[in-house]
Every structure is written in C-alpha cells, then in structure tokens.
Amino acid sequence: MGGGGCAHRFYNAADLPLEFLAPPVENVAAIDLSRLSSFSVSNELIERGDVLEVTIITDFSRMGSNTAPIRVGEDGNADIPLIGKVALAGLELEGAEQAIGMAGVARGIFRNPHITVTMKRQRSNRVTVIGAVRQPGVYELPRSSSSLLAALVAAGGLSEEAGPDVEIKRPAPRGAVPNLLEQPGQPRVTGQAKAQLSAYEPPEPPAPVITRVNLARAAQEGNGGHYLADGEVVMVTKRVPKPIHVMGLVRKPGRFELPISQELRVLDALALAGGCSSQVADKVLVIRRVPGREEPVPIKLSMRRAKSNGKVNLLLAPGDIVSVEQTPVTVVVDSLQSFIRFGLTSTIPMF
C-alpha cells in the first residue's frame, strides 16, 4: 500500500485487503439443485386436513367391519364413527390405529377392536413461486414432498437472470379484529364505555417470518432441504448487476454490462473498450465502492504485471470505474507521435 495521507491513500491490487475484494461470481446455472432434496416427510404421518380410511372390525368370528372415510379437522381431531373425536394429527398410521382402539375401549364401546387406518388423500400445500423462475405461479405440492426443490421444479426451474439468493416468506396468521362498537345482537355501547372502546388500539399483527437461502452455499453444504408450509411464498431474486465504466486512455471509453455468471477482470474490461489508445500506457486505477464505507477505494495496478500475475489482474465488482491513467511518459510519447505525424503531413507536397 502506498499514498500520501488518508484522503489520497491508494491500494495495490496485488495485496488488496480482503474486505475490498470483489465478491466471487456464482454461476447459478452450474448449481446442483438436486442437493436441495435432503428434506423428507413420512408418507404415513397424519396432519390436519388429511383424509383417512378407518376400518373397525369388532367381531372376528363374523368378521363384521365398518369402513368409513374420515377427515382430520383443523383442531387435529378426527370424528370416528361410534367412538367420537380422537386426536390423530402428528401420529403415524400405526399410532393412529392404537389411539382409536384405546379410545373405543376406554369409552366402553368395544372390548378388543381391530383397527386399520390407511391414508386416502394427503392434504397438499399451496405454495406461491415468484421472481426469476421460468413459470411463476401458485402450485399445489404434496405435503410429503413440499420442499424448496419441489417448488422450483414445479415453476420450471431458474431463469437465466436468476441470482443465487431465495427468500421464503411464511405469512403470519391474521385474525380479524372485531368492531366492539357494532357487534350484532349485542347491546349498544354508549357514553364513557364507547369513548374507551374508541380509543382502543389493537396490537400490531405479527410480522411474516422470512428465511433467506443462498442456493450455491446450500447445494454445496447439502442442507437446502427446506420444508414449505401451506401459504408460503418463494421469491427467487433477480441479478441486476451494476455496470462498470472504462475511461481514460482507451479507444472506446464507455459503460459496459457485467456478465451474469462469468468473471470480468481488468484486462477483459480494457479489451471491451477497444484496448489502450497509447502504446506506453501501463498505469490503471480502479475506483471501487465498498458497502459500509463512505469513501470509494482507489486501487492501482500495472497492465504489464497484470498479464503475468492473476492477483494484479483484478476481479471487477459491480459499479467499478476502470481508468487507464496518463503519466509523464504517456504525455511525452503521445506528444512526440503527434509531432512526428504533423511533421510528416506538412512535408508531403500537395497536388
């Protein structure tokens, strides 16, 4: 590092501090999404909204049986014929058979019933997928495979502009706040009580729960098997990188877009700008904005060294400004070349 004071401190590209380095470029197209499939739920686990088929055999000598479809309510209970309500949510099928049999015996309805419970239809989860996917929409996923991977597959996979970050939003439950002043069938509220109720401010509803997942890291670590509950929203973020600007001693200065899934280094940027306009230009200055830092970071490098040293050929970050600088050498050489061209032109006879 060099410089003459804090306000003009320059950093060398070869030994740039880690906090000033450009973030690595993540190739979303190369992410192995199959590694997000670590999530699994038993097909025999009973949840609210599932439809079961319950068979009760009460007399083995005559094989008398009673079979009926049963829906598990939102309270987790199922209304079993002859027995009544039995809590089944959260149990596996075998556990549900035992719970129903025990309830029948405990309530004096059967002595030793044989119970069979099968899963007739599992409740599906409605999941909304938006953002950088090929087919955004609302999808019904089987509860046993309601995972982040299943949602992305249902939406046709990631689009070309997809970034690696995904937000999963679980809406907070919201109950309607009753109007205490106008409840039908209730006596009319007047006077001081009405004034107190009018001043009542209901509490703020709870905020939705947001989970952020980086697909590249999750796939690499194999821990991306996120379960998606009913009503959750999956948003795949789009990558909108800031362009870079190339200026100074180049043939075509201007603004250039960063490729989405490829690295762009200083020499690449200079090639996009048509190369250097001066044969002796060597000094390059990269001006970089670093999040959380008020002043931009000036980074200097040599084009000659960048051709043989990968560290010097700096990886560019979104929004970087790349400037090929004038130096006393370039000024002198360019002046001489201009003088020579002018001199040659003036000595050529005109016909």
SS (H, E, C) 181-198: CCCCCCCCCCHHHHHHHH
Same domain, 103 and 133: no
Residue 109 reports pLDDT greater than 70: yes
The confidence score (pLDDT) of residue 24 equals 83
Question: Of 187, 219, 238, which closes a domain?
Answer: 238
Q: HSE on the CB side for 271, CA within 13 Å? A: 7
Residue 51: which residues within 8 A CB-CB, separation 6 or more? Answer: 69, 70, 71, 72, 120, 121
The confidence score (pLDDT) of residue 48 equals 87
Mean predicted confidence (pLDDT) in 279-304: 94
pTM, rounded to two decimals: 0.62
Q: Cα–Cα distance between 111 and 332 in angstroms, integer?
A: 108
Number of alpha helices (DSSP H) and beta strands (DSSP E) in the chain: 7, 17
Same domain, 36 and 160: yes
Same domain, 315 and 257: yes
Q: Cα–Cα distance between 29 and 26 in angstroms, integer?
A: 9
Residue 106 reports pLDDT greater than 50: yes
Same domain, 168 and 217: yes
Read off the pLDDT band of 9 (50, 70, 90): confident
Question: Of 238, 260, 287, which closes a domain?
Answer: 238
What is the signed CA dihedral for 271, 274, 279, 283, rounded to 10 degrees?
-50
Read off the pLDDT band of 39 (50, 70, 90): low
Domain with 264 in it:
2-25+242-332
Mean predicted confidence (pLDDT) in 111-118: 90
Q: How many domains does one find in the chain?
A: 3
Cα Rg of the chain, angstroms: 35
List beta partners, residue 209.
Answer: 170
Contact 177, 202 (CB under 8 A): yes
The confidence score (pLDDT) of residue 346 equals 52
**Per-residue DSSP letter, 8:** G
Q: Tell me whether residue 337 is in a domain.
A: no
Read off the pLDDT band of 195 (50, 70, 90): low
Same domain, 59 and 161: no
Contact 131, 235 (CB under 8 A): yes
The CATH number for 83's domain is 3.30.1950.10
The CATH number for 310's domain is 3.10.560.10
**Per-residue DSSP letter, 112:** S
Mean predicted confidence (pLDDT) in 144-158: 90
The confidence score (pLDDT) of residue 200 equals 57
Same domain, 15 and 35: no
Same domain, 213 and 140: yes
pLDDT digits (tens, 9 = 90+) for 221-263: 776 678 898 899 999 998 877 899 999 999 999 999 888 778 8
Same domain, 222 and 250: no
Contact 37, 225 (CB under 8 A): yes
How do 124-131 and 233-238 pair as beta strands?
parallel
Same domain, 212 and 129: yes
Same domain, 136 and 221: yes
Q: Tell me whether residue 140 is in a domain.
A: yes
Residue 145 reports pLDDT greater than 90: no
Same domain, 102 and 151: no
Same domain, 286 and 307: yes
Question: Of 80, 106, 121, which closes a domain?
Answer: 121
